[in-house]
Structure 1
């Protein structure tokens, strides 16, 4: 079953915005263009309001679609946001989607049908781990190369090569290095950037010609790949020299077709990512078999750690956007990327223990290098202990407990590992249990607390440090930032106020338990 929501999500917010999507929207079956009052509608249709030029026509179209059981009506602004149209959709229980004003209806029909086909095919593709658009993109690169009569590469917005044509009759070292490394080399990238190529791409130029360079790099004809104003990538053709206007225009005309394939590729990758994330969430919750999940997630049968990452602050990507960006950032450059998911505002990563590529040691280094502070947001990360795959739920609980200590300030810094901070964990757990047992209400401690609050003294802290450093008054005084004589004077005053036998080990242990409970709870 294909839902309207899944279609809107696949196409993306650049082109479509859900105005109203009821929970009981019919499944999508087809895309049609219709006018108000038309009888050529069927249940499950996505109806494009091409001829709905005003509010009244849009209202009539919504009502007609409701009578036929259509899945949703797609309108351009301002009709989609008009109160009368929204009220009609609410009353009829029909989905309402706004189409970006600059979107071509003809392109949208083609795109929506491509997306419907992609969603229908993706389940089988996921089972076989195949990308349904990958081979098509290479064939398309060959077709585009014949149009422009030159070797072609298709690249994403990060200059990574997605596909390239087979013909190699015109080439140079830069193209060879780009194909071998699956991205434009940094030095070549810098030269193109200095010529303003990427600035021109972002401005939406139809074609960009870059002359030959002194290092032997041949001329390039570049076409941006856009859909609905969003830059999806670019096509690069290695040409011997200036290209005739007719051939350059034909090259540019292939961009919308490539854009559809890139959107389909994105939809497939998004679905793969969502499926993996859901499976990992289930594994970390102990809801699925570790053996089955490990096979799907490509986890080796070695001990792994669960790492919980929390982000907050002034970063403009704060929230969901930042967490997605963080996943991308952390899974790049440390070897095989960690398996990751999001849940409850946290990013969870599962990494093998050890020091090899893609391991906890590499991820720890990457986490420590993530910029934080003013304007960059705040990052905290905590790792659970190394566990077998069927115990990852326990490692997750350990990571969350450690993250809680970082969040509360009990542990300093923003990065910690469960099995390295066990003293703090012991004290915190003991404090929690003692707090529930109300041990702080026993003995002379309540009197000392009341005296401090009333007279501004610091007897409770003094007693705490005295007990922590038995027989070491200089260390105890150093922890309080006072002179040792001041420490001794305070202890004499304290013992005058409450008689305590500090020579009794049980008394010392009981007092320390109470003070730990008060400080660590």
Structure 2
């Protein structure tokens, strides 16, 4: 348990000061007093007079709190100096705490709740030090108390960072947002069509969105900014239009959230850089791979290296997509891949297993994009051989980019035949193998006369004994296929009954097509 004086001491004299009464009373919770709704005040509560403006209202609040066993009433100047208010405090045996005039009520709520949470942690852990003054979830709870509505805190990419505990007012849009840890595309589209995100970018203090025909409840939205940069936003599910006073109190929470987001981003950036350096070392096979893998918390099981590239020609767009992809696959609930960026490609190291954090879950997560990235997964290998899996992933990514493998996603198991053919084609081309035999003459005939002998021969050799399959690949009638084969054998006098000739020609044609 912590006393009123203990709470004030922890928050600091800049914001709070005990003016009168029993500061040794124990505190249990923080409550915001509202006109006509004071039944929520209970024993040991710190009661914030957010909407109290006159001495008469303050006296009424003090008497009600005294009857309910509250610990203290918090008021802003000049109310704590009014004689009637001080007399009521003495009569009711409460503590009177003065809140600094310029202090935002939202900031006060957050700090008070953080202090109480820290005190509760200390009581459970004995003398162990507290873990700090709360996190974004506590801040979301504080903001929810200020606006008297459920609140979500989202980043600039509409990804949910935190949400308040209260769920008394909700709709399918809020449920799906919290469950998926990001705003669903259809919900985004509805709010975008109403100009919400355009208003956020313009720097509006608060944005009210009325109820929608699909059952989506009204929202009060506050942008979170720092130094002109939009860091995110807060969304409150409200019953209807909100008074200017309460909307302003909700907006006052934004600077506090912004500071928290900046600290969080700085910490994440440092962790990301450190993790990326370790990932690069295991991908390059340099130094102690096992030591780096241990620091990355990679289990001693087969892993894959997955190469991920943005599908856009615009440099800024590609960079933004890579950043969004990085944030998505390295945040959220459960185990996350180890990720690094090398030469405009993201490399993720994932275990080759089903379940959370494995290659199948990463593949499913990336496949849901409206414009999915190119994704190539190398073969599963031991941790010591991750450089080999990376090399295969890079080869597959190059084949995806060239259109030689159907995309946008593939894996070593799916595309190994193409890898073999491509390597053989590159080797044959480098050795000048396509310059021998009848192939140069057939190519010259096609270029000069507009025939398709090279393609016909390729499909005929690929489908031995199956002219129907070969003709379907060429989109011609089987009789046309037979006629073309007969004509080209007359043109170049090649013996297609000889298996070595067929194999040599297929090697040349493969090199021509895949090299």
TM-score range, shorter chain: 0.5 to 0.7
Q: Conserved in 1, the CA contact under 8 Å of 2:303 and 2:386?
A: yes
Where do 5+ consecutive residues of structure 1 fail to align? 1-131, 211-219, 373-377
Q: Conserved in 2, the CA contact under 8 Å of 1:133 and 1:265?
A: no
**1:264 & 1:224 partners in 2: Cα distance?**
18
Cross-structure match for 2:279: 280
Question: Is 1:367 aligned with 2:366?
Answer: yes
**1:335 & 1:312 partners in 2: Cα distance?**
27
**2:195 & 2:455 partners in 1: Cα distance?**
65
Q: Conserved in 2, the CA contact under 8 Å of 1:152 and 1:235?
A: no
Q: 1:426 aligns with which of 420, 429, 436?
A: 420
* Matching of residues 123-138 of structure 1 within 5 Å: 135=133, 137=135
Question: Is 1:470 aligned with 2:469?
Answer: no
**1:198 & 1:134 partners in 2: Cα distance?**
35
Cross-structure match for 2:382: 388
2:310 aligned counterpart, secondary structure: strand
**2:141 & 2:484 partners in 1: Cα distance?**
87
1:421 aligned counterpart, secondary structure: helix
Post-superposition CA distance 1:392-420 (Å, at most 9, x none)? 11111101111111111111231111122
**Using a 3 Å threshold, how does the CA distance of structure 1 residues 197 and 251 change in structure 2: closer, same or farther?**
farther
RMSD between aligned alpha carbons? Answer: 4.8
**2:412 & 2:500 partners in 1: Cα distance?**
31
Q: C-alpha displacement at 1:369, in angstroms? A: 2.0
Post-superposition CA distance 1:364-397 (Å, at most 9, x none)? 222222112xxxxx63111101111111111111
* Matching of residues 247-396 of structure 1 within 5 Å: 256=255, 259-313=258-312, 318-331=317-330, 335-372=334-371, 379-396=373-390
Q: C-alpha displacement at 1:245, in angstroms? A: 9.8
Cross-structure match for 1:448: 442
**1:174 & 1:346 partners in 2: Cα distance?**
43
**1:455 & 1:248 partners in 2: Cα distance?**
77
Q: Conserved in 2, the CA contact under 8 Å of 1:354 and 1:360?
A: yes
**Using a 3 Å threshold, how does the CA distance of structure 1 residues 515 and 261 change in structure 2: closer, same or farther?**
closer
Q: C-alpha displacement at 1:448, in angstroms? A: 1.9
**2:182 & 2:426 partners in 1: Cα distance?**
56
TM-score in terms of structure 2 length: 0.58
Q: C-alpha displacement at 1:493, in angstroms? A: 2.2
1:396 aligned counterpart, secondary structure: helix
**1:238 & 1:370 partners in 2: Cα distance?**
27
Q: C-alpha displacement at 1:360, in angstroms? A: 1.0
Where do 5+ consecutive residues of structure 2 fail to align? 1-129, 210-218
1:382 aligned counterpart, secondary structure: strand
In the comparison of the two structures, how many residue pairs are matched?
370
Q: Conserved in 2, the CA contact under 8 Å of 1:162 and 1:182?
A: no
Q: C-alpha displacement at 1:310, in angstroms? A: 1.4
Q: C-alpha displacement at 1:428, in angstroms? A: 1.0
Cross-structure match for 2:120: none
* Matching of residues 11-160 of structure 1 within 5 Å: 135=133, 137=135, 155-157=153-155, 158=158, 160=160
Q: Conserved in 1, the CA contact under 8 Å of 2:326 and 2:339?
A: yes
**1:460 & 1:276 partners in 2: Cα distance?**
51
Q: Conserved in 2, the CA contact under 8 Å of 1:144 and 1:251?
A: no
Q: Which has the larger radius of gyration?
A: 2
Q: Conserved in 2, the CA contact under 8 Å of 1:334 and 1:362?
A: no
2:317 aligned counterpart, secondary structure: coil
**Using a 3 Å threshold, how does the CA distance of structure 1 residues 501 and 135 change in structure 2: closer, same or farther?**
same
Cross-structure match for 1:460: 454
**2:236 & 2:442 partners in 1: Cα distance?**
81
**Using a 3 Å threshold, how does the CA distance of structure 1 residues 271 and 502 change in structure 2: closer, same or farther?**
same
Cross-structure match for 2:405: 411
Q: C-alpha displacement at 1:314, in angstroms? A: 6.6
